[in-house]
Amino acid sequence: MSKSKLISPFKPAAHKHQECLQSAIVAAKTHCDAAGIRLTPIRQRVLELVWQNHEPVKAYDILDKLKQAKSSSAPPTVYRALDFLQDEGLVHKIESLNAYVGCGNPKELHKGQFFICHDCGFVAELDDDEIRDLLQKKAKRFGFEINDEMVEIKGYCQECRGSKK
Amino acid sequence: MSKSKLISPFKPAAHKHQECLQSAIVAAKTHCDAAGIRLTPIRQRVLELVWQNHEPVKAYDILDKLKQAKSSSAPPTVYRALDFLQDEGLVHKIESLNAYVGCGNPKELHKGQFFICHDCGFVAELDDDEIRDLLQKKAKRFGFEINDEMVEIKGYCQECRGSKK
DNA sequence: AAATGTTATGTTATAATATAACGTTTATGC
DNA sequence: GCATAAACGTTATATTATAACATAACATTT
Ligand SMILES: [Zn+2]
Ligand SMILES: [Zn+2]
Ligand SMILES: [Zn+2]
Ligand SMILES: [Zn+2]
Q: How many CB atoms lie within 10 A of CB B36?
A: 6
> What is the rounded average pLDDT of the residues A1-27?
89
Task: Answer yes or no: do B100 and B120 share one domain.
Answer: no
Separation CA A132–CA A2 (nearest Å) = 10
Do B55 and B49 form a contact (C-beta atoms < 8 A)? no
> What is the rounded average pLDDT of the residues A19-48?
96
Q: Which of A105, A129, A147 is the last residue of a domain?
A: A105
Q: Which of residues 107-146 of B touch strand D (CB under 7 A)?
A: none
Q: Could you tell me the distance, in angstroms and rounded to a whole number, from the CA of residue A47 to the centre of ligand 1?
A: 14
User: Phi, psi at residue B97, to the nearest 5°?
Assistant: -120, -5
CATH code at position B54: 1.10.10.10
CATH code at position B127: 3.30.1490.190
pLDDT in tens, chain B (165 residues): 788 888 888 888 889 999 999 999 999 999 999 999 999 999 999 999 999 999 999 999 999 999 999 999 999 999 999 999 999 999 999 999 999 999 999 998 999 999 999 999 999 999 999 999 999 999 999 999 999 999 999 999 999 988 764
Of B142, B147, B161, the CB nearest to A143: B161
Query: Which residues in chain A are closer than 8 Å to B147, comparing Cβ atoms?
Result: 118, 154-156
Separation CA B51–CA B34 (nearest Å) = 22
Instruction: Report every protein residue that has its C-beta within 5 angstroms of ion ligand 4.
Output: B 103, 112
Q: In this structure, is residue B55 part of a structural domain?
A: yes
pLDDT at B11: 84
Do A48 and A21 form a contact (C-beta atoms < 8 A)? yes
Span CA (B79) to C1' (C24), Å = 19
Instruction: Please count the residues of chain B.
Output: 165
Query: Which residues in chain A are closer than 8 Å to B150, comparing Cβ atoms?
Result: 95-96, 150-154
Mean pLDDT (chain A, rounded):
94
Nearest nucleotide to B76, CA against C1' atoms: C19
CA distances from A109 to A144, A164, B51 (A): 22, 37, 36
Query: Which residues in chain A are closer than 8 Å to B139, comparing Cβ atoms?
Result: 115, 153, 155
Q: What is the pTM of this model?
A: 0.94
Q: Hey, are the CB atoms on B148 and A139 less than 8 Å from each other?
A: no
Which nucleotides of strand C lie under 7 Å from a protein CB?
7-14, 16-21, 27-28
> What is the rounded average pLDDT of the residues A73-102?
98
Do B112 and B12 form a contact (C-beta atoms < 8 A)? no
> What is the rounded average pLDDT of the residues A22-29?
96
> What is the rounded average pLDDT of the residues A36-42?
96
8-state DSSP, B51? T
> What is the rounded average pLDDT of the residues A49-78?
97
Task: Answer yes or no: do B132 and B150 share one domain.
Answer: yes
> How many structural domains compose chain B?
2
Task: Answer yes or no: do A26 and A93 share one domain.
Answer: yes
With a 7 Å cutoff on the CB, does B67 touch strand D?
no
Q: Is B89 helix (H, G, I), strand (E, B) or coil?
A: coil
CA distances from A58 to A96, A104, B21 (A): 12, 18, 38
Task: Answer yes or no: do B52 and B96 share one domain.
Answer: yes
- Domain span at residue A154? 110-165
pLDDT at A9: 84
* pLDDT > 70: percent of chain A: 99
Identify the burial level of A35 via C-beta atoms within 10 angstroms of its C-beta, where 0-12 means exposed, 13-18 middle and 19 or more buried. Answer: exposed
Q: In this structure, is residue B4 part of a structural domain?
A: no
Strands B91-94 and B99-102: antiparallel
Task: Answer yes or no: do A92 and A74 share one domain.
Answer: yes
What residues of chain B have any CB closer than 8 angstroms to a CB in chain A? 6, 9-10, 95-96, 113, 115, 117-118, 124, 126, 128, 130-131, 134-135, 138-139, 141-158, 161
> What is the rounded average pLDDT of the residues A94-109?
95
Separation CA A156–CA A165 (nearest Å) = 13
Q: Which of B53, B84, B105 is the last residue of a domain?
A: B105
Do A32 and A38 form a contact (C-beta atoms < 8 A)? yes
CA dihedral A45, A49, A50, A52 (to 10 degrees): 140
Separation CA B112–CA B125 (nearest Å) = 6
- The 3-class secondary structure across chain A, one letter per residue, is CCCEEEEECCCCCCCCHHHHHHHHHHHHHHHHHHHCCCCCHHHHHHHHHHCCCCCCECHHHHHHHHHHHCCCCCHHHHHHHHHHHHHCCCEEEECCCCEEEECCCCCCCCCCEEEEECCCCCEEEEEEHHHHHHHHHHHHHCCCEEEEEEEEEEEECHHHHHHHC
CA distances from B143 to A8, A102, A114 (A): 14, 22, 14
pLDDT at A5: 86
Q: In this structure, is residue B3 part of a structural domain?
A: no
Task: Answer yes or no: do A82 and A21 share one domain.
Answer: yes
Task: Answer yes or no: do A92 and A132 share one domain.
Answer: no
pLDDT digits 0-9 by tens, A118-164: 999 999 999 999 999 999 999 999 999 999 999 999 999 999 988 76
Span CA (B98) to C1' (D26), Å = 38
With a 7 Å cutoff on the CB, does A155 touch strand C?
no
